[in-house]
Amino acid sequence: MVIKSIRTAIMLLSLVFIVLIALMVLFHAVQEHRSLYARYVQGDLNALTDNMASDLVEVLASQNQFFELKAHLLSLDPYDHVINAAVYDPSWQLLDSYVGRAGMQNTAPVIDLRHWNERREGVFQKAGYLVAVKRIGDPDLVMGYLVVINDYQGPLDVSTLNLALQALPSTLISILILMALFYLLGSRWLSPLTRLSDFAREVQRTKDYSLKIPVTGQYEISALAKNINNMMDAIRQESEINQEYTTLLEERREEMEFLANYDSLTGLVNRQYFLQLLDEALHISQQNGHHVALMFIDLDGFKVVNDSLGHEVGDRLLEQVAARLKEFSSSGDIISRHGGDEFLIMIPECDDMEALENRAGQVVTALMQKYQIHSWELRVTASIGISTSLTSPSDVRELIRNADVAMYDAKSAGKSRYSFFNGTMLDGYQRRLDIANSIDQALEDNEFEIFYQAKVSPYSEPLGAEALIRWNSQALGFVSPAEFIPIAEQSGKITDITQWVINRVCSDYAVIKPLVSHSFSISINLSAHDLKKYYLVGFIRGAFIKFNIPPGAIEFEVTEYAYLDNLNVASEFFREIASMGCNVALDDFGTGYSSLSYLTKIPIDIIKVDKQFVDSIGNSERDDALVVTIMEMARRLGMKLCAEGVEDQQQVNFLTAHGCDIFQGYYFCKPKPLEEFCQWITDMHPDAESNGW
Ligand code: C2E
Ligand code: CA
Ligand code: CA
């Protein structure tokens, strides 16, 4: 499209318009000129030929008409446009003819006048000629005829051309003046539009919606400018709101991204994101030939802090641990909180194993330094497992699993240390896996068994027994409860086992009952996970009804850790247990917690002093004092005291002297299968079956 602006369009249109008008004016002028010309030359010729015709009367009347005639015809010489002329006698016989200037100059073809047959009189146009036919003499006495042929078209054309040529400059000048006028007016009228267009372009370029266009011009133009300014205001307001939304969205997106990829407590990379980064690092390591190392850090004893001092202190501790880990990391390292008290450090391009070992040692040392949280001075240690892409294939999960396995090895080897992964460690891991996977089948195949270990009075009278589970696995051989119970807890299978134990103990009770006194009670161990199972209380109640268990016949043991893991849920659980007439014993007492204040708040009947205290009796005065303090405290709180793991007479004497109520240990009775246990009771009280002691 050639026309790119309104101005050009208007200019072109006005040019066409002006030219058309000019042409029309010119056309009419020419027409007028031509008719004037026709009238003028016709009049002229009429007068000329009238005169000649009257002069020729005399000539034709005279004798010497030949010369006279010639002379008269030659009088036409001064007339430029006469082509030819002729004089005829009354019967139209040619008397004489004449060729005029125009005929001689050949401006128009000469007409043959010898046989002229157009005999009407007058002046008229014929085929581009102006013809005059005149009678010579009176109508009554016609003496002849005069015909004069004038060139008409040629001179008319020349005259018209002259007129056009004369008019052209002034026409052109007029057109130019008009065009200039149109241009100026157009520019003036269109300039507001041009300004608007420039303004729009400026807004588009700068994206500045606060710009304003000056309101000038008149009528629609100023209204348009006002409207555009109003529109700009609206756009600016909208864009400000949009900007706010965008900022908000951006912040939300960043928050979401942070939440999705980072741990909200420590600000470290979270597990999900870490897996992704580790995967990327492993791919890069495959390409550049370097190795990726992974440290799996697990805090030892964190749970104790968290449970005894509260989650708030636990959280602060995790923050401080994270801060120390950051201190010991290099720029390329990625530290992640894997969950709970587990951390992962990825060290890309780690080829120097000695340096890696030094780092692990430094981290262990750094983490074991005391932590100051509020008024508490705390100590925790860390066990670290290390795997590298050198010993583990380039699979993320395998690398983490191997570091985890190595960490488990570090824990088993005594905690607060590091272990490098090696293939043989997988055996232990595999065994844990096998154990976890075999529990369901073992329950189905009845591979579990209950051993009973007696609890006795200071006078060796059986007061009760603890039910201790045993597993003789077809596939795995004998598996100690100390090994499989924690695995069952981790794999969520412990409550199935607990339910099995409750059922078995309740059914065994019928066998034991006839051999013992009415106050004899059998204790069942519960794990922390059991207390969270809302249905377990109902299950216990159901079993008691089903097996007709009298109140007080069954006792439950729970560790301090399990109790405090979720104090409210545990308290509710044991309140219901107590309502069924069951005693509750706090197992392994003294092994974990620094705060004893909870003891006054929970419904506990018996405290079981852990074997490690019993073992320490006689070692030093301090150890003895500790045991005495524990016993004293239990007595003051109105609780009974049971000493676990009693193995010799000296311990019995010491504990008896300090008021211990119940004894449990190999010294009195090792855990035994039901039948042997019954035999043991019978042996202790040969007459029990007959008279019920
Ligand atoms: P625990 O509840 O503290 O049980 C006492 C443990 O000390 C038993 O080990 C017992 O055989 C052992 N023991 C008792 N007297 C002596 C002694 O004089 N010397 C020595 N060296 N050991 C003695 P066991 O049967 O191997 O059980 C280990 C742990 O497994 C138990 O510790 C308990 O926490 C858990 N456990 C056992 N049976 C069950 C069960 O049915 N359910 C649950 N949840 N845990 C159980
Ligand atoms: Ca126990
Ligand atoms: Ca115990």
Residues in Cβ contact with 247 at an 8 Å cutoff, skipping those fewer than 6 apart: none
Q: Look at residues 551, 554, 552, 522 and name the one whose alpha carbon lies nearest to residue 681.
A: 522
The label of the residue with tokens 């949009």 reads 242
Task: State whether the beta carbon of 527 lies less than 6 angstroms from ligand 1.
Answer: yes
Ligand 1 centre distance from Cα of residue 369 (Å) = 34
Ligand 2 centre distance from Cα of residue 466 (Å) = 7
Ligand 3 centre distance from Cα of residue 381 (Å) = 24
Ligand that comes closest to the CA of residue 523? 2
Task: State whether the beta carbon of 587 lies less than 6 angstroms from ligand 1.
Answer: yes
Task: State whether the beta carbon of 525 lies less than 6 angstroms from ligand 1.
Answer: yes
Atom number of ligand 1 nearest to Cα 481: 30
Q: Look at residues 449, 455, 447 and name the one whose alpha carbon lies nearest to residue 508.
A: 449
What pLDDT, in 10s, does the model give residues 521-543?
999 999 999 998 989 999 999 99
**Minimum mean pLDDT range among 98-112, 283-297, 662-676:** 98-112
High-pLDDT (> 70) share of the chain, %: 97
Please classify residue 376 by burial: count the beta carbons closer than 10 Å to its beta carbon, then call 0-12 exposed, 13-18 middle and 19+ buried.
middle
Ligand 3 centre distance from Cα of residue 589 (Å) = 8
| Residue that wins the pLDDT comparison between 402 and 598 | 402
Q: How far, in Å, CA of 653 to CA of 618, rounded?
A: 11
**pLDDT interval class at 101 (50, 70, 90):** confident
Helix (H), strand (E), coil (C) string for 421-434: CCCCHHHHHHHHHH
Ligand that comes closest to the CA of residue 668? 1
Other beta carbons less than 10 A from residue 71's beta carbon = 10
Q: How far, in Å, CA of 222 to CA of 637, rounded?
A: 95
What pLDDT, in 10s, does the model give residues 233-246?
888 899 889 999 99
Atom number of ligand 1 nearest to Cα 666: 18
The per-residue pLDDT for 499 is 98
Task: State whether the beta carbon of 242 lies less than 6 angstroms from ligand 1.
Answer: no
- Global confidence as pTM: 0.60
**Topology adopted by domain 6-160:** Beta-Lactamase (3.30.450)
Task: State whether the beta carbon of 485 lies less than 6 angstroms from ligand 1.
Answer: yes
The label of the residue with tokens 């139209």 reads 92
CA-nearest residue, atom 11 of ligand 1: 671
Atom number of ligand 1 nearest to Cα 610: 3
Task: State whether the beta carbon of 666 lies less than 6 angstroms from ligand 1.
Answer: yes
Task: State whether the beta carbon of 468 lies less than 6 angstroms from ligand 1.
Answer: yes
The β-bridge relationship of strands 122-126 and 293-300 is: unpaired
Q: Look at residues 639, 555, 644 and name the one whose alpha carbon lies nearest to residue 596.
A: 639
- Over residues 493-510, the mean pLDDT reads 97
In degrees and rounded to multiples of 5, residue 662 shows phi and psi of -130, 145
Task: State whether the beta carbon of 53 lies less than 6 angstroms from ligand 1.
Answer: no
Please classify residue 368 by burial: count the beta carbons closer than 10 Å to its beta carbon, then call 0-12 exposed, 13-18 middle and 19+ buried.
middle
What pLDDT, in 10s, does the model give residues 187-221?
877 777 788 888 888 888 988 888 888 887 677 77
Task: State whether the beta carbon of 651 lies less than 6 angstroms from ligand 1.
Answer: no
CA-nearest residue, atom 16 of ligand 1: 645
| Domain 434-682 CATH class label | alpha beta
**Minimum mean pLDDT range among 3-12, 271-280, 508-517, 532-541:** 3-12
Task: State whether the beta carbon of 465 lies less than 6 angstroms from ligand 1.
Answer: no
User: Which of 468, 502, 674 has the most ligand 1 atoms within 8 A of CB, as the residue to mutate?
Assistant: 468
Q: How far, in Å, CA of 100 to CA of 150, rounded?
A: 9
High-pLDDT (> 90) share of the chain, %: 55
Beta strand residue intervals within 110-176, DSSP E: 122-126, 129-137, 142-151
**pLDDT interval class at 690 (50, 70, 90):** very low
Q: How far, in Å, CA of 447 to CA of 474, rounded?
A: 8
| Residue that wins the pLDDT comparison between 448 and 193 | 448
User: Which of 448, 485, 609 has the most ligand 1 atoms within 8 A of CB, as the residue to mutate?
Assistant: 485
- Over residues 67-78, the mean pLDDT reads 88
What pLDDT, in 10s, does the model give residues 293-321?
999 999 998 987 887 788 899 999 999 99
- CATH number for 271-423: choose from 3.40.50.2020, 3.30.260.10, 3.30.70.270, 3.40.50.2300: 3.30.70.270
**Cβ proximity of 132 and 116 under 8 Å:** no
Ligand that comes closest to the CA of residue 451? 1
Q: Copy the structure tokens of residue 226.
A: 């006002």
The label of the residue with tokens 């006028």 reads 181
Task: Tell me the one-letter amino acid at 369.
Answer: Q
What separation in angstroms does the CA of 138 have from each of 45, 87, 94? Answer: 20, 16, 19
Helix intervals (H) in 445-470: none
CA-nearest residue, atom 22 of ligand 1: 645
The label of the residue with tokens 């030929």 reads 49
User: Which of 525, 533, 651, 655 has the most ligand 1 atoms within 8 A of CB, as the residue to mutate?
Assistant: 525
CA-nearest residue, atom 32 of ligand 1: 482
Q: How far, in Å, CA of 183 to CA of 172, rounded?
A: 16
The per-residue pLDDT for 1 is 57
Give the start-to-end residue ranges of the domains of the chain.
Answer: 6-160, 271-423, 434-682
CA-nearest residue, atom 8 of ligand 1: 468
Q: Copy the structure tokens of residue 231.
A: 């529109």
The per-residue pLDDT for 132 is 94
Ligand 1 centre distance from Cα of residue 666 (Å) = 11
Ligand 2 centre distance from Cα of residue 563 (Å) = 13
CA-nearest residue, atom 31 of ligand 1: 482
Atom number of ligand 1 nearest to Cα 489: 44
Task: State whether the beta carbon of 583 lies less than 6 angstroms from ligand 1.
Answer: no
Q: How far, in Å, CA of 281 to CA of 287, rounded?
A: 10
- Over residues 116-137, the mean pLDDT reads 90
Ligand 1 centre distance from Cα of residue 466 (Å) = 9
Ligand that comes closest to the CA of residue 584? 2
Q: What share of the chain is helix, strand, coil (3-state, %, to 5)?
A: 55, 20, 25
Helix (H), strand (E), coil (C) string for 214-244: CCCCCHHHHHHHHHHHHHHHHHHHHHHHHHH
Q: Vertex 393, ends 389 and 399: CA angle to 5°?
A: 65
Ligand that comes closest to the CA of residue 469? 1
Residues in Cβ contact with 148 at an 8 Å cutoff, skipping those fewer than 6 apart: 45, 48, 49, 52, 76, 82, 85, 131, 132, 134
Q: How far, in Å, CA of 246 to CA of 150, rounded?
A: 95
Q: If you average pLDDT over every residue of the chain, what do you get? A: 90
The label of the residue with tokens 């197992």 reads 587
The per-residue pLDDT for 569 is 86
**Cβ proximity of 631 and 648 under 8 Å:** no
The label of the residue with tokens 């795997």 reads 387
Helix intervals (H) in 98-152: 101-104
